[in-house]
Amino acid sequence: MKSITTVRSTIVALALGGIAPVASAKTTPVGPPTVEVTSRDVAASNAKVKAAYDALINMWSADFKQIGEQFAAPRLARYRSPIRTSCGVMLPNNAGYCSADNTVYFDDIFVAAQAKSAARALGTDGDMAGLGVIAHEMGHAVAIQLGHESRLSYDNEATADCLAGAFAQHAQVDKSLEQGDVEEAVFGMSSAGDPTPQLTGNDRVDQRILARMERVGHGTREQRVQNFRNGLQGGAGACLAEFRGMRS
Ligand SMILES: [Zn+2]
């Protein structure tokens, strides 16, 4: 199959950020080097994204109903070149949720590359590393629709990561989660973490570095993995108070 593009999977650092952090997403890239993505890879990835999207809408609609709310299902929009949205321009190699038009945008080549990088590293099909991106963006929609939007970027990212974990738990209960999926999701999140801050030992400088990470960051790898695990183990109730005590 002819390769349609080469995606630097190091750009993963931007993936799980949502729309808001895009402008400031010039974090130092981490993660494995390049993978080549064929049009067949992208087609297979898109089919899985569609199935995961349907499962996400079903899950969150049911969960919202249980707490007496109604989930407004976000649209799902693929793109490859820069696209204008109600939240500004979405650039390639990214994904994001825009609440102003209630849409999850994703670069489909980028998501396919996530899966392929995970597949290569773990020896599995890698799909959950890509789907985790969609589940995370859907997590932003869930949180925002319930009125949770912190001024601190890290809080929003932690909640979205946790809700992505809750989706993985749900998929596990449904028996639709395959062997290796959890490892893949954690792999995707790990590659997507902000670099661990290099502290200087100077208290004032370090305070500033840490405060900045809280404003613009998605969290370190360790934090992201932990946030995902919280949702995976505790379900949506571990992420947002509204879902606490809900039967799963
Ligand atoms: Zn995000």
pLDDT, tens only, 103-138: 999 999 999 999 999 999 888 888 889 899 999 999
Tell how far the Cα of 78 is from the centroid of ligand 1, in angstroms. Answer: 17
Tell how far the Cα of 17 is from the centroid of ligand 1, in angstroms. Answer: 4
Alpha helices by DSSP H, the chain: 39-66, 108-122, 127-145, 153-173, 181-191, 203-216, 221-234
Residue 23 lies in a domain: yes
Residue 187 lies in a domain: yes
Reported confidence tier of residue 173, pLDDT bands at 50, 70, 90: low
Residue 32 lies in a domain: yes
Reported confidence tier of residue 191, pLDDT bands at 50, 70, 90: low
Tell how far the Cα of 123 is from the centroid of ligand 1, in angstroms. Answer: 27
Tell how far the Cα of 51 is from the centroid of ligand 1, in angstroms. Answer: 21
Tell how far the Cα of 217 is from the centroid of ligand 1, in angstroms. Answer: 9
The answer to pTM > 0.85 is no
Which residues have their alpha-adjacent CB atom under 5 A from ion ligand 1? 16-18, 157, 160
Residue 232 lies in a domain: yes
Asked if residues 131 and 48 have their Cβ atoms less than 8 Å apart, the reply is yes
Which tokens in the block code for residue 201?
A: 């030992």
Mean pLDDT of the region 28-40: 69
Residue 248 lies in a domain: no
Residue 234 lies in a domain: yes
Find the domain containing 239 and state its range.
3-243
Domain count along the chain: 1
